Structure 1
Amino acid sequence: MGHATGLSIDELGRVLGLSHAGTVRLVDRLVAAGFAVRSKALRDRRAVALMLTEAGETRLSAILQRRNETLSEILSHVSNADRLVLERIAETILAQMSDDAVSALTICRLCDERRCYNCPMDAFGMLESSTHRVDP
């Protein structure tokens, strides 16, 4: 939800590889914890649009910070030249792993999009529901 504001429950389930019932239970827990809210999507009033709350954004930032610290530690002994090679290899591999926006977002949900410049997944575009506004 941090990568694509306004995802529907169905889209979130496809990205996470969960059943509809499993995704609903997950969203219920996120809403109860104050990390997410449900809204009606503007394009389809029957659909629910999911968004992170301020607390959800804060939690996401903390998770990504821990992830970045771990990666920095792992890569601390890798030279800058080798990091550039690793980056090119990773981009090539990632671009071959996706064939649509859902599979691309499945990969991107593990990234810190604030640090991901020239993301190879951008070629697949955004999910339809995440490209429009939602009612609060």
Structure 2
Amino acid sequence: MADPLSSEGNVLGALALVLTDQMAAGAATGAGESGAAAAALSALHEFLDGATLDRLRRVLGLTHSGAVRLVNRLAADGLVERGPGADGRSRSVTLTPAGRQAAARVAGARAAVLERALRDLAPEQRATLHELLGQVMAGVVRDKEGGAWICRLCDLPACGRDEGHCPTAKAAAAKYG
């Protein structure tokens, strides 16, 4: 039998679920595509543009055939283009101008959901929440093995990744070196 769930854990689970539902709906509307497509557009826009199909597949946690079908759909919709990869066997995936616009809509929809969820917190409460969430994320990263990347929908400048402030990147650096 599993350990009983704490009140905090239960509320966190409910919050995570409602925010996930709202972000998925907003991202899908913003992209005009599924949640996986929205994540692909976001990842390509933030840190993967020009990556190989295999790299995109790993970030999204998809099978090879699932990634091919997703990229086929995005290409048919004019959101991505395929190009040559680093070798003759690989293909790169690059956002088109329409894909960049769709990715910006995905980011805007995600930001709106998250900022709406935080709107009733005072600045000092938000700072405390940021510190606590960083600790929670460090534990999640420490325990996570494989699957989709945590940051596939992140706004990297918002987390301060380039300045070394991202709790997920810090935890990953501690875990993987």
Q: Does TM-score exceed 0.5, indicating one fold?
A: yes
Deviation at 1:98, TM superposition (A): 3.4
- What's the counterpart of residue 112 of structure 2? 69
Q: Larger Cα Rg: Structure 1 or Structure 2?
A: 2
User: Quick one: distance in 2 between partners of 1:73 and 1:111?
Assistant: 17
Q: Paired residue for 1:116, among 156, 159, 167?
A: 159
Structure with more contact order per residue of length (Cα contacts < 8 Å, sep ≥ 6): 1
Post-superposition Cα deviations, 1:45-99, rounded to whole Å, max 9, x if no partner, equal: 3211111111111111111111111211111101111111211222233234336
Post-superposition Cα deviations, 1:11-58, rounded to whole Å, max 9, x if no partner, equal: 22222221111110000001111111111123x232111111111111
Change (3 A) 1:55 1:114: farther
Change (3 A) 1:103 1:35: farther
Change (3 A) 1:6 1:98: farther
Percent identity over the alignment is 33
State TM-score, norm by structure 1: 0.76
- Aligned-residue Cα RMSD (Å) equals 2.4
Q: Paired residue for 2:99, among 45, 56, 60?
A: 56
In structure 2, what residue type is equivalent to 1:79? A
User: Quick one: distance in 2 between partners of 1:72 and 1:104?
Assistant: 27
State TM-score, norm by structure 2: 0.60
**Structure with a larger share of its residues in helix:** 2
**What is the aligned residue count?**
122
Q: Which runs of no fewer than 5 residues in structure 1 stay unpaired? A: 126-136
Deviation at 1:105, TM superposition (A): 7.2
Deviation at 1:7, TM superposition (A): 2.2
8 A contact 1:15–1:106 mirrored in 2:
yes
In structure 2, what residue type is equivalent to 1:109? R
8 A contact 1:39–1:48 mirrored in 2:
yes
Q: Which runs of no fewer than 5 residues in structure 2 stay unpaired? A: 1-43
Deviation at 1:104, TM superposition (A): 9.8
